[in-house]
Amino acid sequence: MAETPTTAASTPEMVNVTINGTAIRVPKGINVIEAARHAGVFIPHYCYHPKLPIAGNCRMCMVEIGEAMFTPDRQPVMEPDGKQKIVMQPRLAIGCNTPVKEGMIVVTNSAAVTRAQNAVLEFLLINHPLDCPICDQAGECKLQEYSVEFGAGASRFREEKVHKPKKVDLGPRVVLDDERCVLCSRCIRFMRDVAKDDCLGFVERGSHSTLTCWPGKKLDSNYSLNTVDICPVGALTDKDFRFKMRAWFLKETKSICTSCATGCNTTIWSRGNIIYRQTPRDNDAVNECWMCDAGRLNYKFINDPGRLTKAIVAPASVPAAGKGSDAGKDAGATSYEDALKQLGPKLKAALANRDSAAFIGSARATNEELYLFARLAKGSVSDCVPRSWAADNFLVKADRNPNSAGAKLLGVAAEPMGSKLAAIAEGIKGSRIKTLVVHQEDVTKHGIGADLLAKLSLLVVMDFKQTATTKAAHFVLPGVTFAEKRGTFINAKGRLQRVWPAVSLGGEARPEWEIFRDLLRELGGVDNHSDIAALFADMAGNVPALAGRVLSKVGDEGVQISTG
């Protein structure tokens, strides 16, 4: 990268630095590790984390620093060639705690730096148990990675290692192996400064220093698993994930947490069609690099072997619930095409009188699904089910629906959401409403009980699992979870974000936007979206808040839209 002196003076926030001989302009005040990143140079580090206060203790990021020289009265000292004289500092500096200054020279590949890196790695490894074969962190361990890249490669330790507590139960979700701990204090700082639950600390001194929970405390914060993410080694492990799968076998899929309206960006880690874990993905506009434990662990329903994989058509005009709800999950199972063929004419006939039909959509559905669902519901009453839990002051929003904003924007949800559910129940009770279409909700838990459902002439349900509602349905069309489809959500702050399929359920189940499209076709519409991008384009053309948006440009971190 070449220096561009013409613009050097115009933006005062930028400074010129040289990193391993590469001149680069970087924002003033960022630290040397971040500045080096700008230059494509990686400086290894353990304790430094961009979202935590500086600790400066691991000493892995030591570099050589040269600074522009000034006279005691702050006049620049110039070289004969007209450049300011640079003096290299006699001691190595830690990159994490060294802010860049104009003219600074950073050297990360000299013999002195290499010696220091070798030494720190050797120090970290002498008392480390070297139990990689049974360690969950193997494959994503900074001790392993740096040993290869920055280590001396051989051990010369002739003494007895320090022994420390193993299998320490720090809390309900996290286990600690103190022998693997490199004492970087990231977890301590996270709990103290980010999660605001100061529960971890070191006891003992020197090489016997031991990470522990304060007496009488447990690591049971709803953010405790973030400590596992930021632990650079295998000291902190996730009870849910440990011993289940080698990290290198897992496929990473970008996704969004759908447990609340925050929409934390996530990575889904899967192998085959099984999800093994969910971890937060960096997005400074949403969740930085954190997520709550409740959201993180909320993936097991996806792996449930009892999921719906076939369409279900209840025997003619007799709702399944009417003939006993323990009919077995395969009762009435048929192919998707068959179900669609039978449903099409019935739905079309039922919707001839729009006032006799009601639609309950899902604020957990994607925008694309909601967009088509709104079309299906056009002329009839529609609403969504609100759901909430206790919010906190960090990431958890009270609104547990991941796409309330989308459900409102696309006209499926009433204002306020759920305000029409009682009227729908009344309508069914008074036999004014004879047809109900439900997406991904068990309405029996939201005021429309099985007794009411039994009164319907036509109940159509799209869901990915059996519920009391699907059991009462005349037609069940199998959908999939957020982890099995493409689509977009809008979070509480109006950020449009994407999900990608991580796993595939197989069978007849399919993303609901395909089901809704097929139903619209059955109703005689001309909806012929062949893929999600075309559907998104159609939606963007019809919804002003999404005007000009293109699915492929939403990107990994989403885009802010105006939902007002």
Q: Which residues bind other proteins (CB under 8 A)?
A: 54, 56-60, 62, 91-92, 94, 97, 115-116, 119-120, 122-124, 126-127, 156-160, 162, 182-183, 201-202, 204-209
- Which one-letter DSSP state was computed for residue 554? S
Q: Where are the beta strands (DSSP E) in 232-389?
A: 236-238, 251-256, 265-271, 274-280, 311-313, 333-334, 357-361, 381-384
State which residue, 231 or 515, has the beta carbon closest to other proteins: 231
State which residue, 160 or 415, has the beta carbon closest to other proteins: 160
State which residue, 198 or 531, has the beta carbon closest to other proteins: 198
HSE-up of 492 (CA within 13 Å, CB side)?
19
Instruction: Give the whole-angstrom CA distance, residue 195 versus residue 338.
Output: 52
Q: How far is the CB of 164 from other proteins (least distance, A)?
A: 12
Q: How far is the CB of 12 from other proteins (least distance, A)?
A: 22
Instruction: Give the whole-angstrom CA distance, residue 217 versus residue 392.
Output: 20
Q: How far is the CB of 201 from other proteins (least distance, A)?
A: 7
Q: How far is the CB of 126 from other proteins (least distance, A)?
A: 6
Q: How far is the CB of 65 from other proteins (least distance, A)?
A: 12
* Order of strands across the sheet that contains 236-238: 168-169, 174-176, 236-238
Amino acid at 117: Q
Instruction: Give the whole-angstrom CA distance, residue 313 versus residue 154.
Output: 67
Torsion angle in degrees (nearest 10) through CA of 501, 503, 507, 512: -30
Q: How far is CA 409 from the centre of its chain?
A: 23
Q: How far is the CB of 90 from other proteins (least distance, A)?
A: 8
Q: How far is the CB of 207 from other proteins (least distance, A)?
A: 4
Q: How far is the CB of 189 from other proteins (least distance, A)?
A: 12
Q: How far is the CB of 96 from other proteins (least distance, A)?
A: 10
SS3 239: coil
Buried b (16+ CB within 10 A) or exposed e, 20-51: eebebbbebebbbbbbbbbbebebbbbbbbeb
How many angstroms separate the Cα of 545 from the Cα of each of 259, 495, 535, 562? 24, 11, 16, 6
Q: How far is the CB of 160 from other proteins (least distance, A)?
A: 7
CB 365 within 8 A of CB 372: no
> Among 258, 339, 326, which Cα is nearest to 466's?
326
State which residue, 94 or 256, has the beta carbon closest to other proteins: 94
Instruction: Give the whole-angstrom CA distance, residue 515 versus residue 103.
Output: 61
Token pair, residue 4, equals 């561009």
State which residue, 15 or 412, has the beta carbon closest to other proteins: 15
Q: How far is CA 525 from the centre of its chain?
A: 36
Element (H, E) at 475: strand 475-478
CB 551 within 8 A of CB 537: yes
| Phi, psi for residue 278 in degrees, rounded to 5 | -130, 130
Instruction: Give the whole-angstrom CA distance, residue 129 versus residue 345.
Output: 68
Helices (H), 213-329: 225-230, 293-296, 300-303
Torsion angle in degrees (nearest 10) through CA of 136, 141, 145, 151: -100
Q: Is the dihedral of CA 510, 516, 519, 525 positive or negative?
A: negative
Q: How far is the CB of 121 from other proteins (least distance, A)?
A: 9
State which residue, 56 or 494, has the beta carbon closest to other proteins: 56
State which residue, 53 or 541, has the beta carbon closest to other proteins: 53
State which residue, 18 or 57, has the beta carbon closest to other proteins: 57
Instruction: Give the whole-angstrom CA distance, residue 505 versus residue 273.
Output: 7
Q: How far is the CB of 93 from other proteins (least distance, A)?
A: 10
State which residue, 94 or 333, has the beta carbon closest to other proteins: 94
State which residue, 154 or 390, has the beta carbon closest to other proteins: 154
Instruction: Give the whole-angstrom CA distance, residue 482 versus residue 387.
Output: 18
Q: How far is the CB of 239 from other proteins (least distance, A)?
A: 27
Q: How far is the CB of 57 from other proteins (least distance, A)?
A: 5
> Among 171, 183, 196, 277, which Cα is nearest to 229's?
277
